[in-house]
Amino acid sequence: MPGKLIVRKQTLLVVSLLLLIGIPLPPMARAQSNTQSNISNRNQQQDERLTELLKEGRKLVDAGNFSGAIAVYRQAAELDSQNAKIFSGIGYLQARQGNFQEAATYYQQAIALDPKNAEFHYALGYNLANLGRNDEAIAAYQGATKLNPRHVNAFLGLGVVYSRMERYREAATVYRQVTAIDARNAKAFELLGAMLIQQDRPREAIEPLQKAIQLSPRSGSAHVTLGAAWLSLGNLAEGLSAFNRAAQLEPRNGAIQLQIGKIWKAKGRTQDALKAFQRAAALQPSLTEAHLAQGDIYLEQKDYLGAIISYRQYTTLQPQDPDGHFKLGSALKARDRKQEAIAAFEQAKRLYQEQGKSNRVRDVEKVIKELK
């Protein structure tokens, strides 16, 4: 029973990731000079400057320079503070960089200016869901579906959040709504299968997952979720076959490797998990979870040097996570690198204090005292 519970928890992570890799943000709205609504507030020179800024921002987006584009669009927003598309554009670019809190704030500003735009509500729900603000995400997704009753992605996002909250009946209803709108929507069947695994009903999950693959045979995430179902049923051969197929279909997708690693870890296949995490980090060096997961395995195996390297990579990418600094300190301590360990623990302590985690602060203080 404990093993099944662990797999179920890991499958929750699979479902959570599907929100990112399977349900996209709406495309970035092309902002234009909102001349008619603001003509009394801007002179011709300002309007020409606004047009230049929007063109410059688009060039930076096309070049992949999102930070530069954000800076330019912020200047544009100062000139045209009533242009909802400018704010939504900034939100989109923040989300593309994983800055979900900032993205949500900008989409809220866009909605305040254009409350009947379903895509803005959907994008807000996407970002809130990624922040774990489930109730708010539900409200945003529902706002999108009220404005556009055929908004498939908003329904799918809503189903993912319901599944995360273990509100399975509501999730199933939402997925049925999607298939009523689009009987060939593979993602709805895939998410339904993942939800059934969460409920410890892997046998029932096989059929919708196979249907998802039939409809979208090149979906790596569907094959990963099918593999998780087979493993939950104790069928290692079918599970491994599904994982291999996923890796073949999307060989450059680090997120797929990350999920394979998590499932192997849940099944106690530590070395297989480590290899998958290593592939994930190599494919996508910015994939923070892969570095953290590698570090945890190295620490368990008393490969402290490997743990130090992995945790340093993680804390570079996630400098505000106190747990990462604490784990780095633990690995450094095990290598008898006391001064570096103390520095890592001090950083963890400061961050725990900022987060109001007094119990963790006391734990770290005890460790630092032992080192001094």
The dihedrals phi and psi of 165, each to the nearest 5 degrees, come to -90, 5
CATH T-level fold of 31-134: 1.25.40
pLDDT at 145: 97
Q: What is the pLDDT of residues 143-187, one digit of tens each?
A: 999 999 999 999 999 999 999 899 999 999 999 999 999 999 999
Please tell me the distance from the alpha carbon of residue 292 to that of residue 29, in angstroms, as a whole number. 35
Query: Taking 80 as the threshold, does the pLDDT of residue 87 lie above it?
Result: yes
Distance from chain centroid for Cα 278: 19
pLDDT, one tens digit per residue, over 21-37 is 456 666 777 666 554 44
Query: Cα angle vertex 13, ends 11, 17, to 5°?
Result: 120
Multiple choice CATH, 285-372, 3.40.50.720, 1.10.510.10, 1.25.40.10, 3.40.720.10 = 1.25.40.10
> Can you tell me the distance from the alpha carbon of 25 to that of 19, in angstroms, rounded to the nearest whole number?
10
pLDDT score at 17: 44
Contacts of 213 (CB under 8 A, 6+ apart): 186, 219, 222, 223, 226
One fold for both 31-134 and 285-372?
yes
Q: What is the pLDDT of residue 46?
A: 81
pLDDT at residue 2 is higher than 80: no
Report helix angle 254-266 to 220-232, nearest 10: 0
Q: Give the CA distances from residue 18 to residues 82, 180, 188, 190, in Å, rounded to whole numbers and listed in that order.
A: 34, 21, 11, 9
Q: Where exactly are the structural domains of the chain?
A: 31-134, 285-372
What integer pLDDT is reported at residue 157 of this predicted model? Answer: 93
Report percent pLDDT > 90 for the chain. 63
**Whether the predicted pLDDT of 19 surpasses 50:** no
Pairwise CA distance, residues 332 & 305, whole Å: 8
* Residue 21 or 224, more confident: 224
Prediction pTM value: 0.75
- Here the tokens at position 250 are 């999307």
pLDDT greater at residue 330 or residue 247: 330
Residue 108, burial from CB neighbour count under 10 angstroms (0-12, 13-18, 19+): middle
The predicted structure's pLDDT at residue 33: 59
Cβ atoms within 10 A of the Cβ of 156, count?
24
Q: Identify the pLDDT of residue 123.
A: 95
pLDDT band for position 15 (50/70/90)?
very low
Specify the length of the chain in residues: 372
pLDDT the model gives residue 372: 81
